[in-house]
Amino acid sequence: MTASGTNGVHAAPPQVTKTAATPPVVVPAPVNPPKQTILSLGALPPRPTAWHGKGPRTPSRIDPNNPPWPAYRGYHEYSFAHATMGHRLPTILGKAIDDVVRTLNEQSDVDRIVDLVESIARMQDLMEDLTGNTKLRPIVDDGEGDIPLWNKEIAQFFQGKDFMNAPWLFAEAYKYRRLHECFSVSKYWKDYDVFFRQKCDTFSRSSKAVFELSMRFSKPWKQVESLNATQKQEAIRLMFHELTQVCLWGNSTDLSLLINMTEEDIKKLQSTGGDHLAATEKNILGNDIPRLWETVKRISQKPDGRIDFILDNAGFELYCDCVYADWLIQSGIAKQIRFHGKRFAWFVSDVTRKDWDWLLNTMVYGQLFPEASDAQMDSLRAMGERWKQYEREGKWVYEQHPFWCTGYTFWDLATEAPDVFLHLSRSDLVLFKGDLNHRKLTYDCEAPPATPFDMAIGPMASLPGAPPVCSLRTIKSDVVVGIPEEVADRLNRDEDGWKISGKYAVVLLSDGRPGEKVRFQSQGRFAFQ
């Protein structure tokens, strides 16, 4: 089955004519984004065979084409993989082409123009490959460090596979690397981010929630002096509980799903008030926040407690992450926070270094919110200045390892990026934000919903030295683990589209094996299972 055969609406790519003698000429074609937000996809058809959660594959037989439980693949009409590969990705790519055409029309230098026209031609080729469901070819060697990781994985596991029959996770990630390649082989546009405008724009349309948080949290946090020790501990626990949820629900604004959302829609999703959070807590279907608090209390006893964020989306979600991280520092729980972002534009809204810098600088120097009061702008500036100061002092560190933008799941982190595993093993808590990170932790496969989180994340829980890992994820795709079976049964029966609406969430914790010496096996994939 080809993607184009299943795809109702997608953006028409611009037509690029190439001749030997003259530079190519671009004629942008009109783009027709979908009228509805993709969130209203509704029910997915039922899975055709009787799959009742058989046991997982034995570890030695697990590989990227054969996850522990059956993989989701684009041709599975019952899964969100199908809608994504056949409909959402071509739409996203069409909008990306629009963005580049807009940039092209703002250029005056002929070399830069011709170079960018060639990038657009490559994007059009990618659109043809995607909608024509061609086989996955190696990534062109653009001199970047991740090439061996990509091409080794393609050669070892995906020879002859196409966009629709490769596991969804790999095929989707591959599309974003191919999109990056359209620019990485250019001369002037190597770091061009086709989603940058969208990311900034959505943050600028989030003013209500942005100021709700800045007005509350810009002043340095301190305990009320009149409280006794028990009351102080309870006050700090309550704050932790609230801010963990602010951080969690910040993940519901994901640009790849929110195409065409109105400002009102965004406001509803971003409500950060205490009452709203209490009401939405019942939507956290697997809720380890109480256990997470016990972990955090232990960290606060350490003189050098470190917490890592494996970041997800830029803009409002990153802002919520930073509000949380700010409080974790101010309350004395952590002495250092390390943030891990992406090396290039990834899954539309993910944080890159440029997004990180943009957020902190726009808070201090920007004029994004013309309607804001002086007090609101002051609060945003004060918070931005404090965050920049954390960076200068090394209390906050931003990093970007190539592994985060590969098609590997985190079951392969220790084997494919042992340096990252070792680095994370020294953390006291690693918070994985969002849906894609959750898919990668759990191998994005059809594990039964009641599968314990530890089991679903395999080596990230069971390897010696594995740090405590927590997934803060609003549910936006098929894989769901760590929730009671009866809850999944009820939602499957009563609520169409519950796995893709972003209305439900999980906060799942694995204790890991911290403190044990990390050892790497020279051979074999999961030697420590």
Which parts of this chain interact with Mg ion (CB under 5 A)? 312-313, 347, 349-350
251 near ligand F6P, rule: CB under 6 A: yes
347 near ligand F6P, rule: CB under 6 A: yes
Residue 84 or 207: which CB sits closer to ligand F6P?
84
Residue 207 or 256: which CB sits closer to ligand F6P?
256
Q: What's the min distance (Å) between Cβ of 433 and Mg ion?
A: 8
Number of residues that bind ligand F6P (CB under 6 A): 17
For helices 196-204 and 353-365, angle between their N-to-C axes, nearest 10 degrees? 40
Determine phi and psi for 338, rounding to 5 degrees.
-115, 130
Q: Which of residues 462-491 bind ligand F6P (CB under 6 A)?
A: 476-477
Dist. CA 302–CA 487, nearest whole Å: 38
Q: How far is CA 54 from the centre of its chain?
A: 29
R_g of the chain, CA atoms, integer Å: 23
76 near ligand F6P, rule: CB under 6 A: no
Q: What's the min distance (Å) between Cβ of 475 and ligand F6P?
A: 9
Q: Phi/psi class of residue 19: alpha, beta or left (left: φ > 0; alpha: ψ in -120 to 50)?
A: beta
Residue 88 or 386: which CB sits closer to ligand F6P?
88
Q: Could you give the angle at the alpha carbon of 474 between the alpha carbons of 469 and 475, nearest 5°?
A: 105
Residue 308 or 428: which CB sits closer to ligand F6P?
308
435 near ligand F6P, rule: CB under 6 A: yes
202 near ligand F6P, rule: CB under 6 A: no
- Could you tell me which residues come within 8 angstroms of residue 274 by beta carbon, excluding any fewer than 6 positions away? 242
Determine phi and psi for 223, rounding to 5 degrees.
-70, 150
Residue from 180, 205, 439, 525 binding ligand F6P (CB under 6 A): 439
Residue from 292, 359, 436, 505 binding ligand F6P (CB under 6 A): 436
As given in the structure block, the two tokens for residue 26 are 């671009």
Residue 87 or 439: which CB sits closer to Mg ion?
439
Matching residue, tokens 């001199």: 143
Dist. CA 469–CA 457, nearest whole Å: 9
Task: From the list ligand F6P, Mg ion, none, pick the one residue 439 interacts with, judged by a Cβ distance below 5 to 8 Å according to partner type.
Answer: ligand F6P
Dist. CA 340–CA 403, nearest whole Å: 11
Dist. CA 357–CA 322, nearest whole Å: 13
As given in the structure block, the two tokens for residue 182 are 């359209």
Residue from 118, 153, 312, 355 binding ligand F6P (CB under 6 A): 312
Q: What's the min distance (Å) between Cβ of 348 and Mg ion?
A: 7
Task: From the list ligand F6P, Mg ion, none, pick the one residue 218 interacts with, judged by a Cβ distance below 5 to 8 Å according to partner type.
Answer: none
Site string for ligand F6P, 171-190 (x = CB under 6 A): -x------------------
Residue 26 or 258: which CB sits closer to ligand F6P?
258
Dist. CA 508–CA 495, nearest whole Å: 23
- Binding part of the chain for ligand F6P, among 112-120, 279-287, 430-438, 487-495 by CB under 6 A, reads 430-438
Residue 369 or 403: which CB sits closer to Mg ion?
403
Q: What's the min distance (Å) between Cβ of 433 and ligand F6P?
A: 8
Matching residue, tokens 């250019």: 186
326 near ligand F6P, rule: CB under 6 A: no
Residue from 256, 287, 336, 352 binding ligand F6P (CB under 6 A): 256
Tell me the sheet residues that pair with 342. 352
Dist. CA 419–CA 414, nearest whole Å: 8
- Binding part of the chain for ligand F6P, among 2-10, 127-135, 137-145, 252-260 by CB under 6 A, reads 252-260
207 near ligand F6P, rule: CB under 6 A: no
For 237-274, give one letter per residue: b (16+ CB within 10 A) or e: eeebbbbbbbbbbbbbbbbbbbbebeeeebeebbebee
Q: What's the min distance (Å) between Cβ of 75 and ligand F6P?
A: 16
Residue 129 or 254: which CB sits closer to ligand F6P?
254
Q: Could you give the angle at the alpha carbon of 193 between the alpha carbons of 186 and 247, nearest 5°?
A: 150
The helix (H) or strand (E) run that includes residue 393 is helix 374-393
Query: What number of CA atoms fall less than 13 Å from residue 252's CA on the CB side?
Result: 25
Q: Which amino acid is at 491?
A: L
82 near ligand F6P, rule: CB under 6 A: no
Task: From the list ligand F6P, Mg ion, none, pick the one residue 84 interacts with, judged by a Cβ distance below 5 to 8 Å according to partner type.
Answer: ligand F6P
Contacts with ligand F6P, residue ranges (CB under 6 A): 84, 88, 172, 251, 254, 256-257, 312-313, 347, 349, 434-436, 439, 476-477
